[in-house]
Structure 1
């Protein structure tokens, strides 16, 4: 583990079955992160560190299917963004821009060298914002079904209606409070699986059980619904200005791997294909029959793309690592 003087053990060790150890650091407030370790410090095969960034409503548990294998050659970390998992937040601190700043601070103060960012959904947007603002912190980007502007295609009506509710003041707050009171923790977790998986039967039962424990814990977290809505509304604000967002994306000068499920209900594959066409230097992989969270639904297929891409861009050797100033 990287030595961090203010890191203390996390109150829940939900990633332990997958080899992760949870810590809480003071990075302008308590931030939970999971350390999956990596090769020994003097191992010449150790590659660039990997930092994993979950999506809206997600947590560090979103990465348990990838982290253990990646940690064979990279020091791997998974961060809970402000307002999610075991990191508290407010509507302001949970915005995508604030979370980009939080992850940047994590890289500087905990990791200490440039990283490969692996981001899913909102975490993909946060990773792009971070790479644009702090390119010195980023050696490469793996975007897994990132939040992207949606072209003129027929939307998923249920998803569109839900996000319209989130965007509406008072109505969004009432809706989330109602869902929290009416649904059990397992029903809430299963609902996310049903939305994010093309085939919910692929969900790992152990991961679902850990998610239920986390959901029960979060019932005692103050203002969790407000933090969620703050993040969702900030995400929608970025998407509402597609020209500016596309310009920011085109300005990224780091290697990028885009992995996208072709049956994603939240970010249609047409959005990923459009961005890939605008950025021909990217490596792209589209996964038939897969939904919004391929790293959970088909982790082996995602790893089959990530491993060779890391090697192709010389991100798997110590010589490619540099310390931050």
Structure 2
């Protein structure tokens, strides 16, 4: 059964309203937002570690004016179900595939931010027929290839994996203070880390606790991009904030070299790890220009055939 509520839209925006819904997948209910009316190309947005649908809010209505906007909370995050066991890219890719089949109804352009880039890359590897275009935004997944763990990082990961110790660490981090520090480290424009943003990110932690976040951290070595050149041959775009200190722009070059040789790279100036929130207008313009170009590419391909 699907439950529907309407997120706040002003009178002038009702033409492009965005609704909140829940749909059941293999591991329980998943929360998603979808714009109406449906038109253009379906775009499915997948958030990163610790995030949720609301992180896409600064660009959603801009996208909805030209195409259909979809976004979902991955299992273990936001307000989707908290299944038992370690999180994995395979579980999340299967979740997105279920969402596309049940709700979108056909191939979509999939956009993944940070850890979400690992998820949509796995979807493109395992279910390429569902991916009309692949967009990775400041994606993780290259760290272990490009920057192997130091002994200190290995010790910290082992501590997090230790029963009780890991839970104690997670409980310290999973507070508004911890959320704020994490966001400040990710953003180049620190003023964008508002009390409202911190409260939004902290909401699921207050409601569900931090166990699912801990389960994800404990399986960090699974959260790499396994996609190899040729496994996904469709169009691809790598969007990157030029001032990202956690995942530097050189990771975009590594993804192109190791996984997506056909990808275009768009470096976005004056922003850090979250360009869609730090510079939403430029981000949306760059993304939509690329998406709109896919139609012309498909027309030329069909003509050539």
Q: TM-score range by the shorter chain?
A: 0.7 to 0.9
1:226 matched residue in structure 2: 211
2:3 matched residue in structure 1: 8
Q: Residue 264 in 1 paired to residue 264 in 2?
A: no
Offset, 1:103: 0.9
Q: Which of residues 193, 197, 202 is equivalent to 1:215?
A: 202
1:179 matched residue in structure 2: 173
1:51 matched residue in structure 2: 44
1:193 matched residue in structure 2: 183
**Given the superposition, is the C-alpha separation of residues 308 and 166 from structure 1 closer, same or farther in structure 2, using an over 3 Å criterion?**
farther
Which runs of no fewer than 5 residues in structure 1 stay unpaired?
A: 1-5, 40-45, 321-325
Maintained 8 Å contact 1:23/1:32: yes
Q: Which of residues 235, 243, 246 is equivalent to 1:255?
A: 235
TM-score, structure 1 as length reference? 0.78
Structure 1 residue matching 2:184: 3-state secondary structure: helix
Mapped partners of 2:230, 2:255: distance in 1: 9
1:43 matched residue in structure 2: none
1:104 matched residue in structure 2: 97
Mapped partners of 1:113, 1:125: distance in 2: 21
Maintained 8 Å contact 2:134/2:235: yes
Mapped partners of 2:149, 2:8: distance in 1: 35
Structure 1 residue matching 2:166: 3-state secondary structure: helix
Structure 2 residue matching 1:66: 3-state secondary structure: helix
1:149-168 superposed matches below 5 A: 149-150=142-143, 152=146, 164=157, 167-168=160-161
2:34 matched residue in structure 1: 35
Maintained 8 Å contact 2:115/2:141: no
Structure 1 residue matching 2:191: 3-state secondary structure: helix
Maintained 8 Å contact 1:196/1:293: yes
**Given the superposition, is the C-alpha separation of residues 163 and 60 from structure 1 closer, same or farther in structure 2, using an over 3 Å criterion?**
farther
Query: Taking CA–CA contacts closer than 8 Å with sequence separation of 6 or more, which of the two structures ends up with the larger relative contact order?
Result: 1
Maintained 8 Å contact 1:122/1:235: no
**Given the superposition, is the C-alpha separation of residues 196 and 163 from structure 1 closer, same or farther in structure 2, using an over 3 Å criterion?**
farther
TM-score, structure 2 as length reference? 0.83
Mapped partners of 1:286, 1:134: distance in 2: 28
1:294-305 superposed matches below 5 A: 294-305=275-286
Structure 2 residue matching 1:195: 3-state secondary structure: helix
Mapped partners of 2:262, 2:94: distance in 1: 27
CA RMSD, Structure 1 to Structure 2 (Å)? 3.2
Mapped partners of 1:38, 1:211: distance in 2: 31
